[in-house]
Amino acid sequence: MGGNIAFGFLGIGFPDNITVFIVSMLPFLGLRSGVVLSFFMGFGIIRTLVICTIGSLVPAPFILILFDRMLLRLGRGHISRHVRRIARTRRRNGERLFVALFVFAALPLPFTSVWVSSVLAAMLGLDFKTSMLAIGAGTFASTILMMIFAFIFPGLFWI
């Protein structure tokens, strides 16, 4: 699926850098497909690290801000009881939540991407700067892990 989307962008005339950047931003493909695609296109390590990490992080601030506002609106309605419980959890476990968010963003597994990490941070009520720091560091670690996996097991990953 990722290969079809990437080759579609390339067929339209997008440059290789932009194609990898866009693939890294997409929710179901994300960083994992971006790293494999960049190696397939012959990118170097630093170029892959920079383009895939930045491309993957682009949606995070928008998700954090918009989802947080949506939760505030929902907090006034039927879900206010759950929003208050989440806020109590955040106050009790602030430091552990940062580490958990970092680990969640760093795992290169399906549904542990920047998108889901950003929604989780907004639901837990973490502040913007702390969330972006944890998600950014986790995404950087995830990029490095995916690059190592793609080097060690090149035939295992397909796009």
115, 59 contact by CB (below 8 A): yes
42, 150 contact by CB (below 8 A): no
Instruction: Give the pLDDT confidence score for residue 86 in this predicted structure.
Output: 62
Helices (H) and strands (E) counted in the chain, each on its own, are: 9, 0
State whether the Cα torsion 102-103-108-113 is positive or negative: negative
Which one-letter amino acid corresponds to residue 123?
Answer: M
Q: How far apart are CA 78 and CA 135, in angstroms?
A: 29
pLDDT tens by residue, the chain, 159 residues: 555 665 666 667 777 888 889 888 888 778 888 888 888 888 888 998 899 899 999 989 998 888 867 766 665 555 556 655 665 665 566 677 888 889 888 888 777 788 888 888 887 778 889 889 999 999 999 989 888 888 887 666 655
